[in-house]
């Protein structure tokens, strides 16, 4: 407190001054509002009074003169005829005589069609007032008055200057109270308006005087109270100074004793906080770690159960993050994780939890989620954060993520089940193409269990060499001679039975087993080719499919060359099939394919037309064969569009000096169409299914 007194004094807030200013402003506003209201009220009263009086005058007009004007309402002539009739001296004199002694200075009569059939100002006869709001209201039975100021005004007998005029539209009734016309009366209200204005000025002065007296009285009272408060404040300040002095002396004595103890406590507390943070937070990103995430999820589940709420768990995994670490180094990878964390934080609601489980895996708890749609929107917002590149060390890095979602209590009511199911959904998102979100379903658990069984048995099968290679013939449809074959992987598992490629190939791709599997198929194919050649079965060429991961593997072309040398095969006997998507997914794919082609090994594009089909890439690729996909072949005879695509592919291949192979051919009509279009190399059930090596050689030896 002493330090406070010793500091520079702030300028005191002058309450009295602000109170006086505010009071004066409010009083001025009150005076203005009251004066304005009184002026408005007096005008309204005048208009109301005039409507009442006008109605009375119209009643007199109806009783005395209306029968003379009524015939004019039925005249259908032009303005000239109306002016001639309305200018009759007896009509005008009758109107002037009737209104003599009143404040009426002008009168106009309208038919119900809105035409002016009479006016004390003859020039206005024949005017159309059908769109005038006052006329329409009177024609509907309601009188309307309006106060206006006129600099000059044509009255009955002379012109008036600087006048306040009230114009009133009043309905004219005939027999049975039926409205037969409208009368407009103009009344000179100048004396009343000026008298009222004079009275309002005096009233405003009186109000202002009273408010000033009130203000002065208030000012005297407030100033007196302010002096009393200032005196009390000075006394209180003096008392506080004495108290501060005593407290300061006592505090100094205690602080010297407790300083060392406080320092030790703070140091211990800081150490405990650091240890606790290390135990519960990720040291790289500062996010809650797996331990803290589990604790928070357990607490969130308990709250949700008590209050009947739902919550969602989002399992977020970065796509191909390992590629960043492998190519740019772990330091860049860490910087990328920090940047990803910063973006994710911007899209997480306050009260929700974002945690890092390790590596490139993040997880988020969404509290009080009432429906899956809200969680889906949250997931899409997170995915949208990855549309812009991450700038790391001056480099633009593009990244995507896959998100799996599970809900409590629908997908589990305990921590382990929810996290596991969200993880399963995330893997399903990756399997569906990455860069997307996926809700968990019970079928995914079955699929995940099957995937695990396939993966574990596939690892064992590859290690034990259980994968077999079957061969499907490629035939020249003109001579029915065997001109090649495609090597296809087949697997019969002792536990799972016959496992089709559509089930085990995707698992091999996801787990990375495709490298070992592809290498085994390639080696077994080369071994079989070598055996057939020694046995005199000289098949011209056998093609083998390649995956992305095989082409990405360093030294792949060296591996192909080593196999050819080991089994003493000419390079031309081997052909490698790649898809367009594989080419686009491999960095520097052209260099890899060039190195393979330089060995003399053939290259073909499989499933041509179903991927990117970029002519810019096609003309640069060192390929010799385009394979027409089965998706187009099955449309022969049924889909003119598919037939047109086949013709285009064949023509394109011919123009580039490439061969074509049609796969999936099943009947003679398809063969005839393809042969007619210039594609004579056929692969499909029409000539044979994939067969084991021994059966294949027996069936096709005589056709080689």
**Domain extent for 462:** 455-703
Q: Which two tokens stand for residue 685?
A: 């059930």
**Cα 695 from Cα 375, distance rounded (Å):** 56
Residues contacting residue 563 through CB under 8 Å, at least 6 positions apart = 522, 523, 526, 569
Q: 252, 279, 309 — which closes off a domain?
A: 252
Helical H runs in 330-371?
330-346
Helical H runs in 512-639?
514-534, 548-552, 556-566, 580-585, 589-597, 615-618, 630-633
- 215 shares a domain with 340: no
Question: Cβ(647)–Cβ(609) under 8 Å?
Answer: no
Question: Cβ(204)–Cβ(31) under 8 Å?
Answer: yes
Q: What is the CATH number of the domain that holds 404?
A: 3.30.70.270
- 433 shares a domain with 461: no
Residue 277 lies in a domain: no
- 247 shares a domain with 378: no
Q: 385, 413, 440 — which closes off a domain?
A: 440
- 461 shares a domain with 436: no
- 510 shares a domain with 432: no
| Distance, CA of 87 to chain centre | 75
Question: Cβ(143)–Cβ(184) under 8 Å?
Answer: no
Q: 406, 440, 474 — which closes off a domain?
A: 440
Pairing state between β 602-608 and 574-579? parallel
Residue 278 lies in a domain: no
Q: What DSSP designation does 115 have?
A: B
**pLDDT tens figures, 197-230:** 777 778 778 877 887 888 788 778 877 877 887 8
**Cα 588 from Cα 65, distance rounded (Å):** 107
Question: Cβ(582)–Cβ(547) under 8 Å?
Answer: yes
Of 437, 177, 178, 408, the residue nearest 307 (C-alpha):
408
**pLDDT tens figures, 471-506:** 999 999 999 999 999 999 999 999 999 999 989 998
Q: What is the CATH number of the domain that holds 629?
A: 3.20.20.450
Residues contacting residue 234 through CB under 8 Å, at least 6 positions apart = none
pLDDT the model gives residue 581 = 67
- 125 shares a domain with 75: yes
Q: What is the CATH number of the domain that holds 89?
A: 3.30.450.20
Residue 161 lies in a domain: yes
pLDDT the model gives residue 193 = 76
**pLDDT tens figures, 418-446:** 999 999 999 889 878 889 999 988 787 77
Of 493, 451, 484, the residue nearest 574 (C-alpha):
484
Handedness of CA 458, 459, 464, 469 (dihedral sign): positive
- The kind and range of the H/E element at 261 are helix 190-280
- 476 shares a domain with 417: no
- pLDDT < 70 regions, the chain: 1-17, 20, 39, 42-43, 45-46, 48-57, 59-60, 62-64, 67, 73-91, 100-101, 154, 156-158, 257, 259-261, 263-265, 270-272, 274-277, 581, 584-588, 609-617, 704
Residue 445 lies in a domain: no
Residue 389 lies in a domain: yes
**Cα 639 from Cα 60, distance rounded (Å):** 94
Region of 484 on the Ramachandran plot (φ > 0 left; ψ -120 to 50 alpha; else beta): left
pTM above 0.85, yes or no: no
Task: Give the burial class of 578: count Cβ atoms within 10 A of its Cβ; 0-12 exposed, 13-18 middle, 19 or more buried.
Answer: buried
- 339 shares a domain with 414: yes
Distances (CA, A) of 561 to 150, 489, 524, 528, 589: 110, 21, 15, 16, 18
φ, ψ at 168 (rounded to 5°): -130, 125
Residue 448 lies in a domain: no
Question: Cβ(405)–Cβ(376) under 8 Å?
Answer: yes
- 460 shares a domain with 416: no
**Cα 608 from Cα 410, distance rounded (Å):** 44
How many independent structural domains does the chain possess? 3
**Cα 167 from Cα 89, distance rounded (Å):** 24
Helical H runs in 162-189?
none
- 572 shares a domain with 480: yes
Residues contacting residue 359 through CB under 8 Å, at least 6 positions apart = 321
Q: How many CA atoms lie within 13 A of 58 on its CB side?
A: 25
Residue 612 lies in a domain: yes
Residue 269 lies in a domain: no
Q: Which two tokens stand for residue 626?
A: 């385009």
- 467 shares a domain with 402: no
Q: How many CA atoms lie within 13 A of 469 on its CB side?
A: 22
DSSP letters spanning 389-414: PEEETTEEE--EEEEEEEEETTT-SS
- 185 shares a domain with 79: yes
């Amino acid at each position: 407190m002493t330090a406070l007194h010793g500091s520079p004094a702030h300028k005191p807030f002058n309450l009295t001054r602000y109170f006086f200013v505010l009071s004066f402003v409010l009083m001025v506003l009150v005076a203005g509002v009251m004066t304005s209201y009184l002026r408005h009220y007096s005008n309204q009263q005048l208009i109301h009074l005039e409507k009442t009086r006008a109605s009375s005058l119209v009643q007199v007009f109806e009783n005395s003169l209306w029968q003379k004007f009524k015939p004019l309402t039925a005249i259908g002539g032009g303005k000239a005829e109306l002016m001639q009739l309305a200018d009759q001296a007896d009509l005008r004199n009758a109107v002037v005589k009737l209104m003599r002694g009143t404040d009426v200075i002008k009168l106009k009569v309208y038919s119900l069609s809105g035409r002016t059939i009479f006016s004390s100002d003859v020039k206005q006869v024949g005017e159309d007032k059908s769109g005038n709001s006052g006329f329409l209201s009177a024609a509907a039975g309601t009188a309307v008055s309006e106060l206006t100021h006129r600099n000059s005004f044509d009255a009955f007998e002379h012109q008036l200057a600087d006048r306040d005029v009230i114009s009133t539209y009043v309905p004219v009734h005939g027999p049975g109270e039926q409205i037969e016309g409208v009368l407009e009366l103009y009344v000179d209200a100048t004396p009343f308006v000026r008298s009222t204005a004079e009275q309002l000025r005096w009233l405003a002065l009186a109000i202002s005087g009273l408010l000033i007296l009130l203000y002065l009285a208030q000012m005297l009272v407030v100033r007196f109270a302010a002096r009393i408060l200032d005196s009390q404040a000075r006394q209180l300040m003096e008392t506080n100074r004495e108290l501060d002095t005593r407290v300061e002396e006592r505090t100094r004595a205690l602080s010297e004793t407790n300083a060392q103890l406080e320092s030790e406590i703070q140091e211990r507390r800081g150490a405990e906080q650091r240890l606790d943070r290390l135990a519960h937070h990720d040291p790289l990103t500062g996010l809650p770690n797996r331990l803290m995430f589990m604790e928070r999820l357990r607490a969130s589940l308990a709250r949700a159960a008590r209050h009947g709420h739902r919550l969602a768990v989002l399992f977020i995994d970065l796509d191909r993050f390992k590629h960043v670490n492998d190519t740019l180094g772990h330091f860049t990878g860490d910087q990328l994780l920090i940047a990803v964390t910063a973006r994710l934080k911007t899209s997480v609601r306050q009260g929700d939890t974002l945690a890092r489980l390790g590596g490139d895996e993040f997880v988020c708890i969404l509290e009080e989620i009432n429906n899956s749609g809200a969680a889906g929107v949250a997931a899409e917002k997170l995915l949208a954060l990855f549309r812009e590149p991450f700038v790391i060390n001056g480099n633009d890095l593009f990244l995507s993520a896959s998100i799996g979602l599970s809900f409590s209590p629908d997908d589990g009511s305990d921590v382990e089940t929810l996290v596991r199911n969200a993880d399963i959904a995330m893997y399903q998102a990756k399997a569906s193409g990455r860069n997307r979100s996926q809700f968990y379903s019970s079928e995914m658990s079955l699929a995940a269990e099957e995937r695990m069984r396939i993966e574990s048995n596939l690892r064992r099968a590859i290690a034990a060499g259980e994968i077999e290679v079957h061969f499907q013939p490629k035939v020249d449809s003109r001579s029915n001679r065997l001109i090649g074959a495609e090597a296809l992987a087949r697997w019969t598992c002792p536990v799972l039975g016959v496992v089709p490629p559509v089930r085990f190939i995707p698992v091999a791709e996801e787990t990375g087993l495709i490298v070992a599997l592809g290498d085994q198929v390639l080696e077994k194919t080369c071994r079989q080719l070598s055996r057939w050649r020694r046995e005199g079965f000289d098949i011209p060429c056998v093609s083998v499919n390649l995956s992305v991961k095989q082409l990405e593997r360093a030294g792949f072309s060296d591996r192909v060359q080593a196999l050819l040398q080991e089994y003493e095969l000419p390079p031309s006997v081997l052909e490698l099939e790649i898809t367009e998507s594989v080419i686009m997914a491999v960095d520097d794919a052209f260099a890899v394919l060039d190195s393979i082609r330089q060995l003399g090994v053939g290259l073909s594009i499989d499933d041509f037309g179903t991927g990117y089909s970029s002519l810019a890439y096609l003309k640069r690729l060192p390929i010799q064969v385009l394979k027409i996909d089965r998706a187009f072949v099955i449309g022969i005879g049924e889909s003119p569009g598919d037939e047109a695509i086949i013709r285009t592919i064949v023509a394109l291949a011919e123009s580039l000096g490439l061969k074509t192979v049609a796969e999936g051919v099943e009947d003679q009509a398809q063969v005839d169409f393809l042969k007619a279009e210039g594609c004579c190399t056929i692969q499909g059930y029409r000539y044979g299914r994939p067969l084991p090596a021994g059966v294949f050689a027996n069936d096709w030896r005589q056709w080689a």
